[in-house]
Amino acid sequence: MQRQIPVYEPATGEVLAYVPDMSINEVRDAIDKAYDALPRLQSIPAYERARLLMRVAQLIRGRREELARLLTREIGRPIKSTRLIIERTARIYELAAQELPHVLTGEFVPLEAYDYPPGNERRIAIVRREPIGVVGAITPFNFPPDSMAHKVAPALAMGNTVVLKPSRYSPLTESEIAKLIIEAGFPEGSIVVVTGDSSMIGDEFVNNPKVSLITFTGSSKVGLELASRAILNGKRVIMELGGSDAMIILEDADLNRAVQAATVGRFDYAGQFCNATKRVIVREEVYDEFVRRLTESVAMLKIGDPLSEDTDVGPLISRDAVETMESFVNDALSRGGRVIYRAGKVPDRGFYYPPTILEAPYDARVWVEEVFGPVLPVTKVKSDDEAVEVANRTEYGLDASIFTRDFSRAYRLASRIKAGTVFINDTTRLRFDNLPFGGFKKSGIGRESVKDTMMEMSEVKVITYTL
């Protein structure tokens, strides 16, 4: 009898479902299946692959409520958010279909424009893109269907097959969408889901010669180690990793707008995002007033059952995540920090942690490490230069935000912040599906967007012809 892995419902702590704990031979069989499906997938004309992607979007929308409720139960994100996630997921498949003709458009090069090598007046060249092969995709627990879509839709559009490894915490919604992809008309083997030991599956992606590219979203430690080994084996990698996103509030900022952005940026889905606002840096002139308003805003958030329509903050993904948040706060207090605000009672069942705002010295873990939960450190600074220095005092560089009424000032600061995206007067929690998403330093390798990913998942070929 095959071993099974339990999937827990964060809101209750109870087992929601079981998925197979696959052996290494089963994982290899899955990779073989995807590899063998390449000729069938690539025989489908690009325009027809685009139609199939549109069909996938249609099928996802047809099951929106069912998928949203399943997603809420397996990751604990409030239902009013998961409905939006399912719609966004459908749109990503549509966007891949729409971008495909543009990405496949190659170049015609009249080589007579170049005097070397001799004889170019009789030569022409064509530059085109071709599928890269089998893609090994590893997705995180915090936004399963849309992260899956950002990896799978571009791959299928380009004619690549996918072996998908979802998080052990959230394999259910992705598995259902994988079934819809086949139902839409993609050949069997176009996408194969594998579940089981993460290290074993990651190692097989790295070592199996039939896997040509690995795309990973998750922690910087795991992703960079995986990428280093994959590159040694000649594989392409796309790594979307961690962040410790800073929010800078200048003295001329619209404080109500900044408070709203900080509340959403840190406490949406209990802060479990790589691009959540994880550090708030405020000019001393408005620090006290900002903290007062932020505390009032966070105190209004409703904590509870994520299936309830009026819940704002649900549970964390696991009991370990709750204990990690407690260790962050205890570390800050042990170093002389203080809690400014901590929500009152949270549900007894499930993996809940109260939203917390605190002050802490810069050597505290909340300033140094990535905090994946509803704990927000705030600090005051005397100058713009100090604000930038504090914002850049991290090994990450994913997103950042600046609040001010002076665009020129914001632009100058944005140019100095080491982050992949800098938002002016908006939350770091935004992501635009066809703009490059990724970061500086340990926040990633390469960029994800539908278009960028499609280009990464293809090989460039030059074909020349002598007349």
Question: Hey, what's the torsion of the CAs at 153, 158, 164, 166, to 10 degrees?
Answer: -30
The dihedral region occupied by 425, where left means phi > 0, alpha psi between -120 and 50, and beta the remainder, is left
Q: Is there a single domain that holds both residue 374 and residue 311?
A: yes
- pLDDT tens sequence across 187-204: 999 999 999 999 999 999
pLDDT of residue 211: 98
- 437 belongs to a structural domain: no
Shared-domain flag, residues 28 and 177: yes
257 and 122: one domain? Answer: no
Q: Is residue 438 part of a domain?
A: no
Say whether both 233 and 252 belong to one domain.
no
* pLDDT for residue 36 is more than 80: yes
Q: Do 157 and 300 belong together in one domain?
A: no
**Are 259 and 373 contained in the same domain?**
yes
Give the per-residue pLDDT at 194: 98
450 and 382 part of one domain: no
Q: Is 80 exceeded by the pLDDT of residue 411?
A: yes
pLDDT value at residue 1: 72
Calculate the average pLDDT of the chain: 97
| CATH number of the domain encompassing residue 428 | 3.40.309.10
List, for residues 130-168, the tens digit of each pLDDT value.
999 999 999 999 999 999 999 999 999 999 999 999 999
pLDDT digits (tens, 9 = 90+) for 292-327: 999 999 999 999 999 999 999 999 999 999 999 999
Q: Which whole number is the average pLDDT over 383-398?
A: 97
pLDDT above 70: percentage of residues in the chain: 100
pLDDT at 2 > cutoff 90: no
Total number of domains in the chain? 2
Residue 159's pLDDT is: 98
pLDDT in tens, 188-245: 999 999 999 999 999 999 999 999 999 999 999 999 999 999 999 999 999 999 999 9
Q: Are both 192 and 312 inside the same structural domain?
A: no
Whether 153 is in a domain gets the answer yes
| 457 and 318 share one domain | no
Q: Is the pLDDT of residue 66 over 80?
A: yes
Q: Please give the positions annotated as active site.
A: 240, 274
**Is residue 252 exposed (0-12), middle (13-18) or buried (19+ Cβ within 10 Å)?**
middle
- Do residue 260 and residue 161 come from a single domain? no
- Note whether 448 and 438 are within 8 A (CB): yes
CATH number of the structural domain spanning residue 185? 3.40.605.10
Task: Say if residue 204 is in the same domain as residue 311.
Answer: no
Is the pLDDT at 345 greater than 90, yes or no?
no
Give the 3-state secondary structure percentages of the chain, helix then strand then coil, rounded to 5. Answer: 45, 25, 35
What is the extent of the structural domain holding 137?
4-241+443-466
Residue 187: which of 160, 164, 207 has the closest Cα?
160
> With 80 as the cut, is the pLDDT of residue 394 above it?
yes
pLDDT at 49 over 90: yes
Could you give the CA distance from residue 244 to residue 219 in angstroms, rounded to a whole number?
Answer: 12
